[in-house]
Amino acid sequence: MLRSLRGLVAGLLPYSNEPNYELIHSNGNSSPISTIYTTNDDTLSHLKLSFTRFLFFLIPSPIQRRLQPAHFKPQRLYATSYLDGLRGVASLIVFFCHYTEGNVQFMIPSYGLPIGDPVPSSFMQLPFFRVLYSGRPMVHIFFVISGFVLSLKPLKLARAHNYADLQTTLSSSVFRRGMRLFLPTTASTFMVMIFIRMRLVRIEGFETASQQFMDWLHAIWTIAYSWDWDKIWWPKYDVHVWTIPIEMAQSMFLFVTITGLARCKVWIRLFMFVVIMLYSLKCGRWAAFEFIGGALVAEVGLIQQARAERNSNKEMPVSDEESSNSWQTSVVYAFWSMNFVFAMWIAGWPNNDVLRTPGLSEIAPYTMEPYWSQRRQEEQAFSWFALGAMQVVFACQQLPLLQKFFTSGPAQYLANISYALYLMHGPFLDVFAHRWMPIVWWIVGGRENSGMWTRTFAWWGGMLGLAVPIFWASDIFWRAVDIPSVEFAKWLEGKCIVKED
């Protein structure tokens, strides 16, 4: 069957039979980029070819790989690919979270809480299981990962005392960061504006297209406003992009911090990272804690890497070395495994009624200020989520088993589309959820008289049905907007910088 499909595609897209043009080539991201060259065919042939290639572009990239494997480079794994996979899985959980809160609210309360509902709780509401749709802790994991990734190369250069390249790297990061974050959000919110004009979503639009466009421009301005650090607000056109200006502000804060500490001794830099983290957390600046925390994790990893390289050059009896490493490795694995388990427990922190939630009600009163005094209950957990995010990223760095999971094929695909999935899931939930979920509830026998298993099946059926258009849109957005945004930022930087002699 697959061979027949490949033959059909080869017939429609004649890669090898037409010497006058190259239809598809692969870039470094293993994403197909179409390139049309002038041929001697007539206009109709050009239009037919262009239309065929457009249809092929709409096919999700995993299927494209199956149909035309020769035109895709194998995806390489890097030392930090597991963090990309973690970010991808976190984006998926954010999608599950917003799907649940908007459509299957039965799953939101903690397991067993008396909420006036005679139906027993689902097993999915139990601790650890509910992490599957606990999206709020994932935002904090995003920020720790960003701190790690943005600081890794500068810290390597600082440790090598290569301050000239360090300055170049930080300059490039500052120049491109805004475009990396805001070009995709501009495209995604523009798409939402089109959805509003087409009445595909249940959002009241303006009377005229010009009024709608001006309102969208104002929304873009507010989304790009990065001066209110850690402010929780809900932007128009897509409430989920509230994290993007925070990401921008904390990225700049991280670059300034690294610049100031780059020439310090390693132990002093580590100490200052910890001091800045504690100061930020106590001041209520949880995102600053997480970004600097990511740099701390990166620095620790570089220290361990350097130590491993030194030890590999030492001569030591094999038996003594194996005995020493065995128990040390077991202790380290046990320690970080417990940290990961605790972080997963904290990740199940409910939006409300934490003081009535077994296992969390005992530790909630020990929440540090100023978080415990927050008016919104979900913000009370931010200090715990920040600590849990650090534990998760540290554990992934130290535990090969977690790294193996997050470097698997599905996790790496989620890594590729992670930002696109984050931006696409909200708009496409708005388009499809209110149309699909009534069908799901009808299939399972109705929402009003639903039981525990009926609700559980409805959750899975609704999620799987909505995942199809959301993943499809995310895949296309990744290739059509996300990757070109990165490439445009690099191109513009090359045009703007002074060339070195």
- Distances in Å between the Cα of 347 and the Cα atoms of 407, 413, 494 are 22, 24, 42
pLDDT single digits (tens) 400-435? 999 999 999 999 999 999 999 999 999 999 999 999
15 with 162, same domain: the answer is no
| Domain total of the chain | 2
Closest of 455, 465, 458 to residue 429, by C-alpha: 465
Which residues have C-beta within 8 Å of that of residue 31, sequence separation ≥ 6? 61, 478, 479, 483
- Distances in Å between the Cα of 449 and the Cα atoms of 149, 455, 491 are 49, 10, 58
Average pLDDT across the chain, whole number: 88
Range of the domain at 396: 81-313+349-496
pLDDT single digits (tens) 108-132? 999 988 777 788 899 999 999 999 9
CA distance 131 to 348: 5
Per-residue pLDDT at 63 exceeds 60 = yes
Looking at residues 91-108, what average pLDDT do you find? 95
269 with 288, same domain: the answer is yes
Strand segments (E) across 266-359: none
Question: Looking at the domain assignment, is residue 344 inside a domain?
Answer: no
Q: How far does Cα 438 stand from its chain's mean position?
A: 30
67 with 97, same domain: the answer is no
184 with 299, same domain: the answer is yes
Per-residue pLDDT at 266 exceeds 80 = yes
CA distance 344 to 364: 16
Question: Looking at the domain assignment, is residue 76 inside a domain?
Answer: no
374 with 269, same domain: the answer is yes
Question: Looking at the domain assignment, is residue 322 inside a domain?
Answer: no
Looking at residues 318-323, what average pLDDT do you find? 56
pLDDT score of 197: 95
pLDDT score of 113: 82
Q: Which helix (H) or strand (E) holds 9?
A: helix 2-12
Q: 158 and 263 in contact (C-beta within 8 Å)?
A: yes
Give the whole-number percent of the chain exceeding pLDDT 90: 65
pLDDT single digits (tens) 12-49? 554 433 333 333 333 444 444 444 445 555 788 778 88
DSSP SS3 for 32: strand
118 with 44, same domain: the answer is no
- Distances in Å between the Cα of 374 and the Cα atoms of 272, 371, 377, 380 are 28, 5, 7, 6
Question: Looking at the domain assignment, is residue 335 inside a domain?
Answer: no
pLDDT single digits (tens) 218-234? 999 999 888 876 677 78
Looking at residues 277-287, what average pLDDT do you find? 94
pLDDT score of 217: 96
Closest of 198, 209, 290, 307 to residue 253, by C-alpha: 290
pLDDT score of 489: 97
**Of the residues 22, 39, 71, which one is the last residue of a structural domain?**
71
183 with 289, same domain: the answer is yes
- Residue 25 pairs in a beta bridge with 33
Closest of 366, 342, 363, 381 to residue 135, by C-alpha: 381
Question: Looking at the domain assignment, is residue 150 inside a domain?
Answer: yes
CA distance 244 to 82: 23
Confidence of residue 296 (pLDDT cuts 50, 70, 90): very high
19 with 101, same domain: the answer is no
pLDDT single digits (tens) 171-194? 999 999 999 999 999 999 999 999
266 with 214, same domain: the answer is yes
29 with 115, same domain: the answer is no
- Residue 32 pairs in a beta bridge with 26
39 with 170, same domain: the answer is no
Q: Rg of the chain's alpha carbons, rounded to an integer?
A: 25
pLDDT score of 12: 52
pLDDT score of 378: 75
pLDDT single digits (tens) 434-480? 999 999 999 998 888 888 999 999 999 999 999 999 999 999 999 99
pLDDT score of 382: 92
Question: Looking at the domain assignment, is residue 325 inside a domain?
Answer: no
Question: Looking at the domain assignment, is residue 194 inside a domain?
Answer: yes
**Model pTM greater than 0.85?**
yes
Question: Looking at the domain assignment, is residue 336 inside a domain?
Answer: no
DSSP SS3 for 357: coil
63 with 93, same domain: the answer is no
pLDDT score of 30: 45
**Of the residues 71, 89, 111, which one is the last residue of a structural domain?**
71
DSSP codes, 283-306: TT-HHHHHHHHHHHHHHHHHHHHH
pLDDT score of 23: 36
